[in-house]
Amino acid sequence: MSIHYALEAEKIHAELYSKAEEAAQEEKDFEVEKVNICPKCGYTVIGDAPDHCPVCGAKKDKFKEF
């Protein structure tokens, strides 16, 4: 099950890396207000945490905000 969690989280990470690379190529910063990460599976979301993690089902209050 943890391999599934890692795979799903890495799909999101790849999308974020792509956006950051695009910003860097335009000589801009990749600006985000806040990032929320699920401590159970690593699912990452820019902005507010969802009510439940779509990957592992962890509750919103478990997410770590950065």
| Residue 7, pLDDT score | 87
pTM: 0.74
How many domains does the chain contain in total?
A: 1
pLDDT at 48 over 80: yes
What percentage of the chain exceeds 90 in pLDDT? 67
The better pLDDT of the pair 56, 8 is held by 56
- β-bridge partners, 46: 35
Give start and end residues of each alpha helix (H) in 1-66.
Answer: 2-25
Domain containing 38 — which CATH number?
Answer: 2.20.28
By residue range, what is the domain housing residue 49?
A: 2-65
pLDDT at 6 over 90: no
35-55 mean pLDDT:
94
| Mean pLDDT across the chain | 92
